[in-house]
Structures are given as C-alpha cells and as structure tokens.
C-alpha cells in the first residue's frame, strides 16, 4: 500500500513537471500582475500594400501609418479580433507613388500595449493603391449631434442623420468634398433636433441634394409619424417615405436594397421602441422614449459589419440582444449610442457587440461630454475609441481637443479608420 501511494505521488509530480508553462514567458498571460511586458514585433514585411508580421506573444495589433513626414492618422485593424502571433493586413488608403511611414501598436491579453520591435522596421514603404471593392462609413463632425455617410461597395450613397441646423455646412462640405451630390437614401434615426436639423433646415440636405428615399422609424413615441418641418420638405420635393421596423432588411424591404454587391446586406435591428416604456417626466420629446425609437442598423460587407445606433439607450440595447443574441449583434465598428452618454453602451451591449473600434460623435468646444465609464467599458472589451473632438485613438477626456471626421473603410476583411482633421 505504501509503495503504491509513493508511486502515485511520484507520477503526479512528474506529470506536473512535464506540463507546458501557461505562456511562453512562464506567467499567466491574462494577469496584469504577472505579465507586465507588452508584445514585441519579431518580423515585419510589406509587399504590394499588404503587411505581414509576427509578435512574441499572442496580441491584437493595429497598423498606424501616414504619408512620410506627416501624422500617422490612418489605423488598420486586422480581419479578426483574435490574439495571435501571426498577423497580416492590407492598407486600404494608400496611393501609388507616395511614401508612407508606419508603426505597429500591439496589445496582449493582460492589457499591456506599446510600440516595440526586435527587428528593423522600414522607415518608409512605397504606397500601393488598393483597387478592390470597399465600403465606407464616415462619422461627420457635427458637434453635439450625429451625421454619418455610408458609401456601399457598389457606389450607392446613404446619409444617416444630418446633425443640427447650425452645423449643416459641415455635412454639405463633407458630401461635396467626397464627390457626393445625390443620395440613394436618407435615414432619420429618430425625431430629435440634433439628428433631423440638417434635413429640416432652409437650404438643407433635402433641398440641396437629390434624395431617392427617406427612411424613418415606425415610431411609437407619441404616435407621431413625422416632424412637420421635415414632412413639409419631403412633400415639396416629392421624396417618398418608408417607415421601418425590426426585421426589415435589404432582403425584404426595397427601400433598404441599396446595393446588390455579393456580401452586402443591411438589417434593421430596432426601430420605434421608445413608447413601450414610460417616460412620465418628459414633455419635450427629448427624453428616454425618443432616443429608444432610434433606428439601429447592422450593415455588413463580407466578413465585416458596422452597427449604427442613433441615440439608442439601454432599453433598446437589451431589446436587440434579446432578439438577436450574440451572433446577431457582433460588429467590427460600433457607433456609440447617445454621444457616449452613460445611459447607453451598457457592459452587456459592449460585450455582445465586441467591436474592434468604436466611434463617438461628440465634438463640443466647451467640454468633453461622453462619460469616462463608457470609455472604460470600450477599452475593457479590447476596442479602440475615437471621438470627433479627440481623433487620436483612446485620447483621455481631459486632453486638448483635436477635431475631425472619422471614416471607417473596409474591403470585407480588414477595417481602416481614416481621420480627416480640421479646425473647429
């Protein structure tokens, strides 16, 4: 009996010795107290606009690049949000004949993040223009408001909200600057002035641009189908209106069939939810109900998806999760709801969406109005955030403002964020 027990103890001890360490560094890679070293790039090559590199431990990486001598204000995120040692990504915003400077930012599973390399990194690389199909979603800097411009792979243009009247010129300038003079669709996520102002304004979007279709939520808020100032413009210019609700998509709703490119699809995840919950203290229309009426859309191109939320708050987020589950709410790029306020972007929502990058429309001269708890929640799910008044990824709230438009570009594999800076 004693010999058997001794043999068992010796066997267990030998087995423990033969077990591999829990990481290549012999520490728990998920424990910041044990793993305090950031990942290091151990090889790197660029050929014809595609980079390939490795890291010395599993990591999430971002390629940051820009024209030589200028800011590195373009950020390329890999195809999958998976910690790995082998990495590759395509540059979507390069031009032929231009030299670019670049670097790699890596983050490990313990949250250590830095720029570092054990091998010589190229000082500059020759630009190679991407010629394949791409989809873009631009968050236009409209101050405290929202306006986004979608260009589908087949070239259709869709405007999602138009900001407030005082910042209409920013929307118009952006659209004209990007060669957009006609809108295949214009979407109003919900009936609040910082979203419909540019539509209702004199010499606004509905007057200056041809619009094929106007899309609004089949709203429950006060049972009001349309803001009168917007409705009168739609009537005057003969623009047809489609009211959408959850489940409407490019498969079953002609007004959402913006592009027949294989792999492109759009679906309404929520619309017109607000009146399902009480908001007795609100008489202005700016309360909880109106925000939760917001159209929430998932826009897909091949393996990449964007989610736009308008001002949707917790109630709408929970409703979407309940209806679609984790698989149906996953997205690579997330427009943060209600300008980053702490009545939206719940932990449950961020965990289910699990974005690679989050965009926040909140350019205020006076102060940063998105909440720290929201920014912390975004980083907790290992995503970057950019705000229209602090356009460098993950800039603290108390940093000096730096304004710009935020443009997400995808080929259906990687996501590239391009920043167009400008003065306020």
Best CA proximity match to 264, nearest among 243, 276, 278, 250: 250
- The structural domains of the chain, with segments of one domain joined by +, span 41-126, 135-421
Best CA proximity match to 246, nearest among 221, 268, 220, 276: 268
Looking at residue 401, its pLDDT comes to 87
Concatenate the DSSP letters of all residues of 273-315 into one string: -GGGS--TT--SS-SHHHHHT--EEEEEETTEEEEE-TT--HH
Q: Which CATH superfamily is domain 135-421 in?
A: Ribonuclease Z/Hydroxyacylglutathione hydrolase-like (3.60.15.10)
Best CA proximity match to 354, nearest among 389, 373, 328: 328
Looking at residue 289, its pLDDT comes to 65
Looking at residue 168, its pLDDT comes to 93
Supply 200's token pair.
């209702």
Best CA proximity match to 421, nearest among 385, 372, 387, 383: 387
Q: How far apart are CA 393 and CA 236, in angstroms?
A: 43
Q: Which residue has the tokens 């399902």?
A: 276
Looking at residue 226, its pLDDT comes to 79
Looking at residue 31, its pLDDT comes to 77
Percent helix / strand / coil, the chain, rounded to 5: 25, 30, 45
Looking at residue 14, its pLDDT comes to 44
98: how many CB neighbours lie within 10 A of its CB? Answer: 14
- Torsion, Cα of 291, 292, 293, 297 (10° steps): 100
Q: How far apart are CA 32 and CA 45, in angstroms?
A: 30
405: left (phi > 0), else alpha (psi -120 to 50), else beta? beta
What's the distance, Cα to Cα, between the start and end of the chain in Å? 83
Looking at residue 28, its pLDDT comes to 79
> Fold match between 41-126 and 135-421?
no
Query: Which residues are within 8 A (CB) of 85 and not within 5 positions of it... i.e. 6 or more apart?
Result: 54, 55, 56, 57, 58, 59
Q: How far apart are CA 114 and CA 104, in angstroms?
A: 8
Looking at residue 12, its pLDDT comes to 43
For each of the chain's 424 residues, which pLDDT tens digit applies?
454 444 444 444 444 444 444 444 567 777 777 888 999 999 999 999 999 999 999 999 999 999 999 999 999 999 889 999 999 999 999 999 999 999 999 999 999 999 999 999 898 999 999 999 999 999 999 988 999 999 999 999 999 999 998 889 999 999 999 999 999 999 999 989 999 999 999 999 999 999 999 999 987 655 566 788 899 999 999 999 999 999 999 999 999 999 999 999 999 999 987 756 555 544 444 444 689 999 999 999 999 999 999 999 999 999 999 999 999 999 999 999 999 999 999 999 999 999 999 999 986 665 677 899 999 999 999 999 999 999 999 999 888 889 999 999 999 999 999 999 877 6
Task: Report the CATH number of the 41-126 domain.
Answer: 2.60.40
């Amino acid at each position: 009996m004693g010999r058997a027990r001794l043999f068992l103890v010796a066997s267990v001890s030998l087995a423990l010795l033969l077990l591999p360490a829990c990481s290549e560094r012999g520490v728990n890679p998920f424990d910041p107290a044990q793993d305090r070293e950031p990942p290091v790039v151990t090889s790197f090559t660029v050929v014809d606009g595609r980079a390939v590199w490795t890291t010395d431990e599993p990591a999430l990486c971002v390629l940051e690049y820009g024209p030589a001598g200028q800011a590195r204000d373009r950020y390329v995120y890999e195809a999958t949000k998976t910690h790995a040692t082998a990495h590759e990504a395509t540059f979507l915003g390069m031009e032929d004949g231009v030299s670019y400077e670049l670097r790699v930012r890596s983050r490990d599973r313990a949250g250590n993040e830095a720029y570092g390399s054990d091998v010589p990194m190229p000082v500059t690389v020759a630009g190679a223009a991407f010629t394949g199909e791409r989809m873009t979603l631009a968050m236009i800097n409209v101050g405290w408001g929202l306006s986004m411009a979608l260009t589908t792979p087949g070239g259709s243009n869709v405007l999602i909200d138009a900001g407030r009247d005082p910042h209409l010129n920013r929307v118009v300038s952006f659209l004209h600057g990007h060669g957009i003079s006609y809108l295949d669709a214009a979407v109003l996520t919900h009936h609040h002035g910082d979203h419909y102002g540019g539509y209702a304004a004199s010499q606004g979007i509905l007057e200056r641009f041809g619009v094929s279709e106007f899309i609004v939520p089949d709203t429950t808020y006060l049972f009001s189908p349309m803001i009168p100032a917007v409705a009168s413009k739609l009537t005057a210019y003969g623009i047809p209106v489609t009211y959408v609700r959850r489940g409407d998509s490019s498969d079953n709703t002609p007004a959402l069939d913006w592009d027949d490119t294989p792999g492109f699809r759009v679906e309404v995840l929520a619309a017109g939810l607000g009146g399902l919950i009480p908001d007795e203290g609100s008489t202005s229309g700016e309360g909880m109900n109106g925000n939760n009426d917001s159209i929430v859309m998932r826009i897909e191109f091949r393996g990449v998806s964007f989610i736009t939320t308008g001002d949707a708050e917790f109630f709408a987020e929970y409703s979407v999760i309940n209806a679609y589950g984790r698989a149906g709410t996953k997205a690579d790029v997330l427009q943060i709801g209600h300008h980053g306020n702490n009545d939206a972007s719940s932990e449950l929502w961020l965990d289910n969406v699990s974005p690679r990058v989050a965009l926040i429309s909140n350019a205020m001269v006076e102060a940063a109005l998105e909440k720290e708890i929201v920014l912390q929640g975004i980083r907790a799910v290992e995503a970057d955030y950019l705000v229209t008044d602090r356009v460098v990824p993950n800039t603290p709230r108390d940093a000096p403002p730096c304004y710009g438009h935020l443009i997400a570009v995808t080929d259906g594999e990687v996501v590239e964020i391009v920043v167009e800076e400008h003065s306020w």
